[in-house]
Amino acid sequence: MKEFIQYLPKVELHLHIEGTLEPELMLKLAKRNNIHIPFKSIAEAKDAYNFHNLQSFLDIYFQGAEVLINEQDFFELTWAYLLRCKDDNVLHTEVFFDPQTHTERGICFDTVVNGIHRALIKGTTELGISSKLIMCFLRHLDEESAFKTLAQAQSHKDKIIGVGLDSTEIGHPAGKFERVFIQAIEQGFLTVAHAGEEGPASNIHDALNLLKVTRIDHGVRCSEDEALIKHLVTERIPLTVCPLSNIKLKVFNSMEQHNIVTLLRKGVCVTINSDDPAYFGGYMTDNFFAVTNAHSMNKTEIAQFSLNAIYASFISDSKKEQLRIVIQKYLDVHQ
Ligand code: ADE
Ligand code: ZN
């Protein structure tokens, strides 16, 4: 089973590139860019990764991102992540980035996008990993800042497929960004949003109704609303679930109590993702291991996570079909 999971072809749909900053690279970039960080060693950094909720994580995550200054830094960050994808047999990934985390510090929007994009292109040509890039607005900032960020994205529409919404969920309702999302949709961007991670199931309704998103990031608190679960099943609205993240940020007390397998068996289009793997203790395969160690599952069910992610992805129908065939063949050979 371990080997089956390790080599299972995977698709990742919920990954913050800033959350892949491993302590080793953080220390290297801090030195190279002469940026002060409060950690002297990898062990010291890892010791600080003890979170009690989303905000306590976000504070450390934004601090870590301060070492990213030049295009080459964003390139190296993204390239390191893609090498991890290769190890985990991730064939396609949809990567989030938070432009405001950088532009607020005086880093140029173009520097961020160009560095990430250059690595994604190299990932396709040298590693055979396809990708899409999604720009997230920080929900703790205001609507004006989001509009400004959307304007900055106009000259990068060839590189950015969609917009998302992340950062502090509680106290920052989706409605604050309704007008920004409407404009983004008019401009041709696809839309996703974090909802129902720390916040209640009603936040998932708001993301669907106000922001017109086609998939929900996290969404695990849908369990509080049976009618919503039915709606997710009948409309086949995907959830990009992040199991290790949810445990680290205390959304669930233990992986045994996580609802991803229950949701899968109810017919919800749930997927497995790593969110911020450098901070939460694992990339894609580790997340699959964590779920399957805590919940007894057969191979067909485990492969369904990959099939769901293919369905939920922003790739063309023909590429989806190609990937489905890859999964089916893998299942046939390894059953
Ligand atoms: N930004 C990075 N990771 C996040 C998460 N899990 N929730 C909200 N915002 C985030
Ligand atoms: Zn996230």
Query: Over 90: is that where the pLDDT of 132 sits?
Result: yes
Give residue 1 CA to ligand 1 midpoint distance, Å: 30
pLDDT of residue 42: 95
Decide: 19 in ligand 1 pocket, CB within 6 A. yes
Give residue 177 CA to ligand 1 midpoint distance, Å: 17
To which residue do tokens 């934004």 refer? 62
Instruction: Kindly state the average pLDDT of the residues 140-150.
Output: 98
Closest C-alpha to ligand 1, atom 6: 275
- Looking at the CA of 239, name the nearest ligand: 2
Decide: 166 in ligand 1 pocket, CB within 6 A. yes
- Looking at the CA of 20, name the nearest ligand: 1
Instruction: Kindly state the average pLDDT of the residues 65-74.
Output: 98
Distances, alpha carbon 137 to alpha carbons 99, 148, 319, in Å: 8, 10, 28
Query: Over 90: is that where the pLDDT of 13 sits?
Result: yes
Catalytic residues: 197
Question: What are the pLDDT digits (tens) for 173-210?
Answer: 999 999 999 999 999 999 999 999 999 999 999 999 99
What is the bridge-based pairing of β-strands 130-138 and 239-241? Answer: unpaired
The three-state DSSP-derived secondary structure of 88-131 is: CCEEEEEEEECHHHHHCCCCCHHHHHHHHHHHHHHHHHHHCCEE
Distances, alpha carbon 210 to alpha carbons 62, 139, 180, 197, 295, in Å: 27, 14, 11, 18, 35
Mutate to test the pocket of ligand 1, among 53, 101, 167 (most ligand atoms within 8 A of CB): 167
To which residue do tokens 């999302």 refer? 181
CA distance 262 to 77: 35
* Confidence tier at 48 by pLDDT (50, 70, 90): very high
Give residue 42 CA to ligand 2 midpoint distance, Å: 23
Q: Give the atom of ligand 1 at the shortest distance from the alpha carbon of 18.
A: 2
Query: Over 90: is that where the pLDDT of 335 sits?
Result: no
Give residue 16 CA to ligand 2 midpoint distance, Å: 6
Q: Give the atom of ligand 1 at the shortest distance from the alpha carbon of 136.
A: 1
Mean pLDDT value across the chain: 98
Decide: 203 in ligand 1 pocket, CB within 6 A. no
Decide: 217 in ligand 1 pocket, CB within 6 A. no
What's the token pair of residue 155? 């000259």
Query: Over 90: is that where the pLDDT of 231 sits?
Result: yes
- Looking at the CA of 18, name the nearest ligand: 1
Instruction: Kindly state the average pLDDT of the residues 73-85.
Output: 98
Decide: 197 in ligand 1 pocket, CB within 6 A. yes
CA distance 31 to 187: 40
pTM: 0.98
pLDDT of residue 234: 98
Instruction: Kindly state the average pLDDT of the residues 267-293.
Output: 98
- Looking at the CA of 60, name the nearest ligand: 1
To which residue do tokens 């491993």 refer? 22
Mutate to test the pocket of ligand 1, among 194, 198, 244 (most ligand atoms within 8 A of CB): 194
Neighbours of ion ligand 2 (CB under 5 A): 275
CA distance 206 to 201: 9
Q: Class of the 2-334 domain?
A: alpha beta
Question: 207 with 193: CB under 8 angstroms?
Answer: yes
Q: Give the atom of ligand 1 at the shortest distance from the alpha carbon of 61.
A: 2
Mutate to test the pocket of ligand 1, among 166, 168, 218 (most ligand atoms within 8 A of CB): 166
Give residue 166 CA to ligand 1 midpoint distance, Å: 6
Query: Over 90: is that where the pLDDT of 272 sits?
Result: yes
